Structure 1
């Protein structure tokens, strides 16, 4: 029987791998394989990665591990409607930006930072998708003939000297080699580091691959042979053999799940994919939110569905699908979690955990606009923790406002709504930017509203959180008064005058207001360079903000002022009582 005609209902592979430090003290290579479980095997397939941290770089080990772990994790979190090429390239771009940024944050030069080679392969349906940068390699053995599928990104200076000219984390401009090859049953793929292929001839590698031993044994033999040949580097080999292939027509029919139909408008009592609608939470022109019950386990969830107004809007659909991916990429106690069920949806929607509590606008109203200062700082700290988790995934929230923060009766905060999030490396087209101003006008940073302003970064989210803090401390006031909403250019914004929060709430210390003022500056470069520095100043007096010592004590430190007044009144009462006895 011709192997290429052999097919089953699913893709099945056998894996073997070996990764050794060799003669080095530290293993800066990393390798990994992830086989999709259940429906993921059909929609995502099998992913295999080999990375080799560049030895001259101080973060080489971290870089290679980040490449492997990040690729395997983030690729399987991408929307099912994205192609393999789109998913992998966007994931790699995000990883590259993180590695590059980490190196520069530590003051390291490009070649000394967090740098790694990366060869990744995704087997999906009857196709192998190869993504490659650096000098790790991918080979294919088919019908006894071995073929190298990648080329080394290495510049040779002399016989003894060469250097990598492309790698992950080397610079922000990422150029990845991409190739698609068909699959046949019996194909065997080898991914290996230069510690192996630089010390073994192709004939020797081919000889080992053609041995009848198991893949684990074969992978180990490759690394051992390389070391025996004198390899002074880490040695890594990863083998995948295709044992079964699915029917291509059935697989490709389900390739773009983004073509699932929009669900109809739902009413309480209606059922969809084993979910029963309990309540309509929100209905807007852009989407609907429903509280639903999973009939299989009784779990209460929230379903978000797209608005039929955008049924033919590809950009809207792409953004909607991206929301689910963003929610699946991050996991933090203060971020709403996207829920994945075993049962695949037949319509376009996604599910989130159901949260108990109320949003901060309702909470502030219940407090009659006068929550305790310490309570507000505790809430803001939780919001910062949540947003920093997004930032670690190169994601800006861009719509932080009172209504998008839920607080439970126990005081636990949860940030919701990924609809306006921006992920570094995702497509940026004119239609994305011209669609509308992301976020809410009252809380969005000035850079979103000014034409030709610098591109928004993490300090834009810092501004919005500071806006939330100011609103909570002052009972809903704006730090720039009524002129804030009308400002739409640089001149307007720089003409605004900051109103100290202690003018509205006497219990806010001057130093805390100084920290708020800095986080709320119009120019992003004048705000705090990091969230952690801002939160430190929100909880600890910064001498920089204590220069106004000519201010009355009540404004400099209201808590201390009222404690002193209380003590004086107590002494006065005691004196009057003593005099009364005479």
Structure 2
């Protein structure tokens, strides 16, 4: 099999700058989406550093086997985290910047997909007409859903929707989740920022992915649909399709001279060909248990509510380095008193205050 891909990014209708970035490395079967955050355009710096570092890492090390591929992917993500964190720590201008990340690496001979992600950028798989979300968001709300699958919408309404619990660059070590998936010919994979999945329902995403065999057209329509549904955030979509090939594959040790990292200021379209080691990675498989079903129900309900109208303006923030403590405290508070009447929280800093 071989992976062909296209990608589109757009500033959306409400933001002044595009802090999303993506890179396509078809010669290595590696595809990346990053969604930066931080004031004064620092998010743009963080996402650009992430995609550039990962591309550089694969150029130096290649994609040569299952064990090697996992190590290279892990090393690339942690190298990106190191660079972003070092910049943020040494520059007052870039203090607090970070980026979400979803990176997909395919091993064609072994027909395996490895997805590394941190934050709320997602990877979906469309197989035989059915869409599945392969990644799970690292957010305060998702943490609460996993801790208490039975939690109601009223309780969740008191948790801020704009707080993610993992991101690159925020802390010296990033806890990256790795999902492993067997690939099939005809599979279509979508990597996207929350500017897409936060405004477009999974049902509509599924429909659009099946509209055309032209991946550039599919990406363009996904972004257009997000804008039609409000466009309240930067929007990025990378679509990858697995196609049969009779050619044996040998990963290059360096990319062809024409491979580039796209400069993504404003709307941008790219087609394939254009465009710390001791730290641990959490390895997961896709599941269909009660927790995942509850999370899926919640995502569908929230997405339905957003359709036809603008979502409230979202300024995403990372609760870090106290992310796990804050999320755990929030969960404990809910578990301790299901009937507690709390005021809605919209300020991420307030989450930390209330969880202390």
Q: Tell me the TM-score normalized by structure 1.
A: 0.39
Give the corresponding residue for 1:105.
90
Distance in 1, matches of 2:188 and 2:278, equals 34
3-state SS of paired residue (1:26): coil
Residues 264-313 of structure 1: CA distance to partner in whole angstroms, max 9, x if unpaired? Answer: xxxxxxxxxxxxxxxxxxxxxxxxxxxxxxxxxxxxxxxxxxxxxxxxxx
Q: Which residue of 1 aligns with 2:225?
A: 225
Shift of the 159–220 alpha-carbon distance from structure 1 to 2, 3 Å rule, reads: farther
Q: For residues 221 and 32 of structure 2, what CA distance do their matches in structure 1 show?
A: 19
**Partner Cα separation in structure 1 for residue 137 and residue 161 of structure 2:** 15
**2:54 match:** 71
Rounded to whole Å, the distance in 1 between the matches of 2:277 and 2:6 is 34
Please state how far the C-alpha of 1:160 moved relative to its aligned partner: 5.1
Distance 1:12 1:95, change over 3 A: same
Aligned partners of 1:62, 1:187: CA distance in 2, in Å?
33
- Residue in 1 aligned with 2:304? none
Q: 2:40, 2:167 → 1: CA distance?
A: 12
Q: Paired residue for 1:155?
A: 140
Between the aligned partners of 1:188 and 1:159, the Cα distance in structure 2 is: 33
CA distance in 2, matches of 1:212, 1:91: 33
The equivalent residue for 1:26 is: 17
Distance 1:13 1:161, change over 3 A: closer
1:116 paired residue among 84, 99, 104? 99
Provide the C-alpha distance between the structure 2 equivalents of 1:33 and 1:246, rounded to a whole number of angstroms.
Answer: 23
* Larger RCO (alpha carbons 8 Å, 6+ apart): 2
Cα distance, 1:212 vs structure 2: 2.7
C-alpha deviation, 1:127, in angstroms = 1.1
Looking at structure 1, the residues matched to 224 and 41 of structure 2 have their Cα atoms a distance apart, in angstroms, of 27
Which TM-score applies when normalising by structure 2? Answer: 0.62
Determine which of 117, 122, 126 is the counterpart of 1:132.
117
* Uncovered stretches (5+) of structure 2, i.e. residues with no partner: 142-155, 257-275, 280-356
Q: Within 1, Cα distance between the matches of 2:30 and 2:21?
A: 14
Q: 2:198 matched to which residue of 1?
A: 198
Corresponding residue for residue 210 of structure 2? 210
CA apart distance, 1:78: 1.5
Change (3 A) 1:427 1:246: farther
Q: 1:203-237 CA distances to partner (integer Å, 9 max, x unpaired)?
A: 11111111135111110111111111012110111
Residues 51, 118 of structure 1: 8 Å contact kept: yes
Aligned Cα root-mean-square deviation (Å): 2.9
Looking at structure 2, the residues matched to 206 and 222 of structure 1 have their Cα atoms a distance apart, in angstroms, of 10
Structure number with greater Rg is 1
Q: Output the CA distance in 2 between the equivalents of 1:113 and 1:242.
A: 38
What is the count of residue pairs matched by the alignment?
A: 241
Given that residues 103 and 115 in structure 2 are in contact (C-alpha distance below 8 angstroms), is that contact kept between their aligned partners in structure 1? Answer: yes
**Aligned counterparts of 1:57 and 1:154: Cα–Cα separation in 2:** 23
Determine the structure 2 residue equivalent to 1:236. Answer: 236
1:311-361: CA deviation from partner (whole Å, max 9, x where unpaired): xxxxxxxxxxxxxx9xx8xxxxxxxxxxx99xxxxxxxxxxxxxxxxxxxx
Q: Aligned residue for 2:37?
A: 54
**Which digits, 9 at most, give the CA deviation of each residue in 1:1-28, with x for residues without a partner?**
xxxxxxxxxx423322210011221110
- Structure-2 change in CA distance of 1:246 and 1:196 (3 Å): same
TM-aligned CA distance change 1:204 to 1:61, over 3 Å = same
**In structure 2, C-alpha distance between the alignment counterparts of 1:17 and 1:108, rounded to whole Å:** 30
| Contact 1:190/1:238 (<8 A) preserved | yes
- 1:17 paired with 2:7, answer yes
- 8 A contact 2:49–2:83 mirrored in 1: no
Query: What is the deviation of 1:75?
Result: 1.7
Q: What secondary structure is seen at the aligned counterpart in 2 of 1:166? A: coil
Task: Give how far 1:84 is off.
Answer: 0.8
C-alpha contact (below 8 Å) 1:127/1:180 kept by paired residues: yes
- Separation in 2 of the partners of 1:57 and 1:181? 38
Please list the CA deviations of residues 12-62 of structure 1 after superposition, one character each: whole Å capped at 9, or x if unmatched. 2332221001122111001111121xxxxxxxx311000000154752101
Matched residue SS, 2:97: coil
Q: 3-state DSSP class of the match of 1:76? A: helix
In structure 1, how many angstroms separate the alpha carbons of the residues matched to 2:89 and 2:38? 18
| Residue number in structure 2 paired with 1:35 | 26
Structure 1: tracts of 5 or more residues without a match: 1-10, 37-44, 258-324, 329-339, 342-424, 429-582
CA 1:130–1:245 in structure 2 vs 1: closer, same or farther (change >3 Å)? farther
* Paired position in structure 1 for 2:318: none
Q: Structure 1 pair 178/245, CA: closer, same or farther in 2 (3 Å)?
A: farther
For 2:206 and 2:41, how far apart are their aligned partners in 1? Answer: 35
Quote how far apart the aligned CAs of 1:246 are.
6.3
1:58–1:212 distance in 2 versus 1, CA, 3 Å: closer
In structure 2, which of residues 106, 116, 131 is the aligned counterpart of residue 146 of structure 1? 131
